[in-house]
């Protein structure tokens, strides 16, 4: 069965690619490109959304958190050169504890809905057209 790139449930997602050869002989090239992409995403996200601060963490095994603010995690997931750049409401223990005391989730959802269109335009080079029955995604290059 095929699969596509992972991203957290409920995330706003933009798709791009890492354009390197990913065989054993070129693994270092991929690693360099991956780290360059992480740095580039942090810089662009920090300029676009100043409330985001650097954070190094994971949501599950495949979704890397690069930055976070009081409401959301910003990160990326990679599968076979396809990159999902995503932003999603936080779900860590500290956030849930703070949300229990003072409801943050409605504010988080409002903030995320306000940035959705700009987010996809800033970070997306491809549009996901859908998924086949075996789980593989179908993408096309974004116009413009």
pLDDT in tens, 34-65: 999 999 999 999 999 999 999 999 999 999 99
pLDDT-derived band at 24, boundaries 50, 70, 90: low
The answer, yes or no, to whether residue 15 has pLDDT greater than 90, is: yes
* pLDDT (average), residues 4-23: 86
Backbone angles phi, psi at 22, to 5 degrees: -115, 60
Segment 88-123, tens digit of pLDDT: 999 998 898 887 888 889 999 999 999 999 999 999
As a whole number, mean pLDDT of residues 24-31 equals: 71
**How far is Cα 94 from Cα 50, in angstroms, rounded to an integer?**
21
27-48 helix and 105-123 helix, angle to the nearest 10 degrees? 120
CA 101 remoteness from chain centre: 28
Q: Global pTM?
A: 0.89
CB-facing half-sphere around the CA of 36: CA atoms within 13 A:
10
Share above pLDDT 70 across residues of the chain, in percent, rounded to a whole number: 92
Name the average pLDDT for the chain. Answer: 90
Q: Please say if the pLDDT value at position 1 is more than 50.
A: no
């Amino acid at each position: 069965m095929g699969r596509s790139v992972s991203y957290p449930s409920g995330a706003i997602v933009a798709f791009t690619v890492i354009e390197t050869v990913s065989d054993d002989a070129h693994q270092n090239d991929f690693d360099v490109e991956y780290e360059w992409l992480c740095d580039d995403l942090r810089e662009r996200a920090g300029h676009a959304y100043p409330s985001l601060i650097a954070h190094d963490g994971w949501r599950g095994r495949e979704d890397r958190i690069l930055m976070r603010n009081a409401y959301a995690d910003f990160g990326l997931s990679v599968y076979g050169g396809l990159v999902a750049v995503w932003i999603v409401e936080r779900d860590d223990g500290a956030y849930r504890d703070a949300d229990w005391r003072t409801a943050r989730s409605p504010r988080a959802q409002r903030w995320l809905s306000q940035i959705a269109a700009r987010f996809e335009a800033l970070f997306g080079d491809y549009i996901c057209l859908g998924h086949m029955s075996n789980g593989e995604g179908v993408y096309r290059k974004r116009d413009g």
